[in-house]
């Protein structure tokens, strides 16, 4: 009798643990999307600092990677996790997939620094490269520090010779940044956790098929639509 009771208790405990895990699945990823929304809001609300409207409206994809950590002494590295969205065939913004950025740097540096990174993708080419494997900025695709503010719009290379424009925000300063050597890769476990499935196919997420997204994804898309309509 005691043995049977013990088994029942174990089963109930296991069910409780599983239900708790399911309820919390994707919580960290939802927080990351909220952080991405905050980064965009901080940057786009100040005309002198924001991404020029011409770049926000007429390009294919957007990655926001909050809190990229750079650390080291002499030889350092950086790592961060963020989100990537694209324009669908209908012209709307997609639900997000999750990506990581990682790279090494050499120079006279010390300590730890946290930086928000935004990447503006000219076309589908560079995004497809990330989905198929990994992309090294400056090697697999061209990357350039992006212009900022109202005046920068007039000076922007409208032909977008670089595949990606890169920006960073650190300690309240927002500017274009060089990211040569950084590696971008899809974070499949994070993407799957966000959609609460065993595996979320990145192409299907970006095309709007199959997966039901948490409410924060709709808020992100509304933000992106608003910023894309800035004159």
How do the domains of the chain map onto residue ranges?
A: 26-228
Residue-wise pLDDT for 151-195, tens only, equals 555 444 445 578 899 888 886 677 777 788 889 999 999 999 999
pLDDT value of residue 106: 46
Side-chain half-sphere CA neighbours of 109 within 13 A: 14
Q: What percent of the chain has pLDDT over 70?
A: 77
Q: Is the pLDDT score of 138 beyond 60?
A: yes
Rounded CA-CA distance 45/200 in Å is 33
Rounded CA-CA distance 43/47 in Å is 8
177's tokens:
């940044």
How many CB atoms lie under 10 A from the CB of residue 139?
12
Rounded CA-CA distance 166/63 in Å is 10
Which residue matches tokens 């060089």?
178
pLDDT value of residue 148: 80
Q: Taking CA 130 as the corner, what is the angle to CA 126 and CA 132, rounded to the nearest 5 degrees?
A: 110
Residue-wise pLDDT for 6-44, tens only, equals 333 333 333 333 433 444 557 899 999 999 999 999 888
Residue-wise pLDDT for 81-122, tens only, equals 999 999 998 889 999 999 999 885 544 445 567 789 999 998
Mean pLDDT confidence for 127-132:
92
Q: Model's pTM, two decimal places?
A: 0.81
pLDDT value of residue 48: 76
Give the max Cα distance, the chain: 81
Residue-wise pLDDT for 41-87, tens only, equals 988 887 777 888 778 778 899 999 998 877 665 556 778 999 999 99
pLDDT value of residue 90: 87
Residue-wise pLDDT for 211-228, tens only, equals 899 999 999 999 999 988
pLDDT value of residue 160: 56
pLDDT value of residue 147: 82
Inter-residue contact 82 to 36 (CB < 8 Å): yes
Q: Is the pLDDT score of 207 beyond 60?
A: yes
Question: If DSSP states are collapsed to H, E and C, what string results for the chain?
Answer: CHHHHHHHHHHHHHHHHHHHHHHHCCHHHHHHHHHHHHHHHHHHCCCCCCCCHHHHHCCCEEEEEEEEEEEEECEEEEEEEEEEEEECCCCCECCCEEEEEEEEEECCCCCEEEEEEEEEECCHHHHHHHHHCEEEECCCECEEECCCHHHHHHHCCCCCCCCEEEEEEECCEEEECCCCCCEEEECHHHHHHHCCCCCCCHHHHHHCCCCCCCHHHHHHHHHHHHHHCCC
pLDDT value of residue 191: 96
């Amino acid at each position: 009798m005691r043995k049977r009771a013990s088994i029942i208790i174990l089963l109930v405990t296991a069910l409780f643990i599983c239900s708790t895990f399911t309820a919390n699945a994707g919580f960290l990823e939802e927080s990351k999307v909220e952080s991405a929304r905050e980064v965009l809001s901080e940057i786009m609300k100040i005309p002198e600092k924001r991404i020029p409207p011409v770049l926000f409206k007429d390009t294919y994809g957007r990655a926001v990677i909050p809190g990229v950590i750079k650390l080291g002494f002499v030889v350092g590295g950086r790592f961060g996790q963020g989100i990537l969205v694209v324009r669908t065939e209908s012209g709307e913004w997609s639900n997000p997939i999750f990506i990581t950025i990682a790279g090494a740097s050499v120079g006279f540096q010390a300590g730890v620094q946290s930086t928000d990174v935004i990447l503006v993708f000219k076309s589908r080419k560079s995004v497809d490269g990330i989905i198929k494997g990994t992309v090294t900025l400056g090697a697999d695709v061209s990357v350039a520090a992006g212009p900022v503010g109202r005046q920068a719009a007039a000076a922007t290379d409208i032909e977008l010779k670089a595949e990606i424009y890169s920006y960073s925000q650190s300690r309240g300063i927002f500017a274009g940044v060089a990211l040569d050597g950084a590696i971008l890769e899809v974070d499949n476990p994070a993407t799957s956790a966000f959609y609460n499935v065993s595996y979320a196919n990145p192409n299907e997420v970006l095309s709007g098929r199959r997966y039901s997204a948490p409410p924060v994804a709709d808020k992100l898309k509304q933000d992106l639509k608003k910023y894309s309509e800035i004159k």
